Amino acid sequence: MPKRELFETIESERERLRSVSREIWETPEVALQETESSERLQSVLREEGFDVEAGVGGIETAFVARYGDEDPVVGTMGEFDALPGLSQRPTAEREPIEEGEPGHGCGHNLFGVGSLGGALAVKRAIERGDLSGSVVFFGTPAEEAGGGKVYMVRDGAFDDVDAVVSWHPGWYNAPGKGSCLAVDSFEFAFEGESSHAAAAPEAGRSALDAVQLLNTGVEYMREHVPDAARIHYVITEGGDAANVVPPQASVEYLVRAPEREQVERISEWVRDVAEGAALMTQTDLETTKTSGMYGVLPNHALGDAIRENMADAEFPLDDEQAAFAAELRETLGDVDGALAQLPEDRREEADDAAMFTQPIDAVDEGVTGSYSTDSGDVSWNVPLGRFQAATWPVGTPAHSWQAVAAGADLGTGGMEFAAKVIAGTLYDLLDDDELLAEARAEFEDRTADAEYDSPLPEGADPYELVNR
């Protein structure tokens, strides 16, 4: 069976893939600084005969690796950025390697390498003559800050691809059929006049007052926006001394909602409130839109194909990994809230396990999750199939020290499983014209009444905006 050869290819590369994942885990790099992580993935792809283009979308660490020059063209994506402040040893207690340093709390070391394994297996199938077509690996940085994929989409990286299959680390195995919130982010910077806050307050104009009025105005907005909308803010500058009227102050805002047009409408209202705050305080305002993303457009045809391949792919987990999973799960406490995500008939099975490795049907069909991801922008430009694979113990939240600890070794079983599912689904897309046509027809139907327009500001530079 040709697909069995795909899985055997991945199994034969197990030690190599685990080694690359561990190297990336041991050198965690935050968004837009993932130089070593990006190069490590690129080097494997070059060794395998892929043509690699780096610096895509104006981001040094973004790249596109392609094997083949025939149609159809299928692809997968790999992330590799870490999170600040989550340094952690692979132990079942909070133990930073270096306090305050980054760590892979979202499992992106596993993410990038799992997708890499899938791409390699398909490449070798094309090379053997089992398939015709091309396979593309998209190296997508900065998911955690600003959204590298949005810049890659803007610059046409996905334009000639027929379908993409991607995944994300988690604690269960299921295809994705849901959506998430679209988002805009802004920085509002106010400038006033400094003066002695006691001796001459009338001579000053407080930029901090403007920030506080903006925040107060937004609080009064909340009653009048859709229930699913979310508006978050943090004051990033507020003055240096209480006896000085603050001449500069700034605040960062995120505006989220299920529909892109809702985000844009709410964002415009927030901008109006900021203008009003500047008028009330006689300060000057500089507004900078720092990023924007679409919600995910699900593709059920690809979700069903992913689920079928999950049933065929084996999930490797040795005794040492299982024992560590049990230790790590003990640190999580009550996980009933997480278990509630699963169908009722699978909760007891998951609750009895440290690692829940059996695949299940999509748990998010018809649901709009409260997160945001730059994969959404990809999904509005090409049919995108997504899934979650179990790389962490049952109930583990992303962005936790437990997720970092699991990413060193425990999560490699889920990483290999994900590689097999990606390889199998890409194989189906290249081998089955009907599946590709079905995925494309669903995509065209869902986008028929909504044209994609990049949410990035005109001339956006990721380095200028993310590092403000």
Question: pLDDT band for position 98 (50/70/90)?
Answer: very high
For residue 50, what are its two tokens?
Answer: 């892929």
End-to-end CA, the chain: 53
Per-residue exposure over 267-294, b if at least 16 CB sit within 10 Å of its own CB, e if not: bebbbebbeebbeebebebeebbbbbbb
Does the pLDDT value for residue 457 go beyond 90?
no
Q: Following DSSP, what letter does each residue of 273-316 receive, concatenated? A: HHHHHHHHHT-EEEEEEEEEEPPP---HHHHHHHHHHHHHS---
Give the mean model confidence (pLDDT) for residues 92-104. 98
Question: Given CA atoms 362, 409, 116, 297 in this order, what sign does their dihedral have?
Answer: positive
Would you say the pTM of this structure is higher than 0.85?
Answer: yes
**171-230 per-position pLDDT tens digit:** 999 999 999 999 999 999 999 999 999 999 999 999 999 999 999 999 999 999 999 999
List 284's β-bridge partners, or say none: 191
**136-176 per-position pLDDT tens digit:** 999 999 999 878 999 999 999 999 999 999 999 999 999 99
**Cα atoms found within 13 Å of the Cα of residue 374, Cβ hemisphere only:** 24
3-state class (DSSP) for residue 95: coil
**283-309 per-position pLDDT tens digit:** 999 999 999 999 999 999 999 999 999
Torsion of CA 102, 60, 63, 457, to 10 degrees: 90
What are the φ and ψ backbone dihedral angles of 288, each rounded to 5 degrees? Answer: -125, 120
Question: pLDDT band for position 466 (50/70/90)?
Answer: low
What was the pLDDT predicted at 92? 98
What was the pLDDT predicted at 145? 83
What was the pLDDT predicted at 468? 53
Inter-residue contact 210 to 281 (CB < 8 Å): yes
Q: Residue 293 carries which side chain, given as an amino acid letter?
A: M
Question: pLDDT band for position 1 (50/70/90)?
Answer: low
**372-399 per-position pLDDT tens digit:** 999 999 999 999 999 999 999 999 999 9
What was the pLDDT predicted at 464? 78
| Alpha-carbon distances of 12 from 40, 179, 379, 416, 417, rounded to whole Å | 19, 35, 32, 11, 13
What was the pLDDT predicted at 66? 98
| Alpha-carbon distances of 418 from 76, 271, 395, rounded to whole Å | 11, 42, 19
Percentage of the chain modeled with pLDDT above 70: 99
Does the pLDDT value for residue 336 go beyond 90?
yes
Inter-residue contact 288 to 299 (CB < 8 Å): no
What was the pLDDT predicted at 79? 97
Inter-residue contact 239 to 253 (CB < 8 Å): no
Average model confidence (pLDDT) across the chain? 96
Count of CB atoms situated within 10 Å of the CB of 226: 12
Give the mean model confidence (pLDDT) for residues 68-89. 97
Does the pLDDT value for residue 465 go beyond 70?
no
**226-282 per-position pLDDT tens digit:** 999 999 999 999 999 999 999 999 999 999 999 999 999 999 999 999 999 999 999
Q: What is the Cα gyration radius of the chain?
A: 23
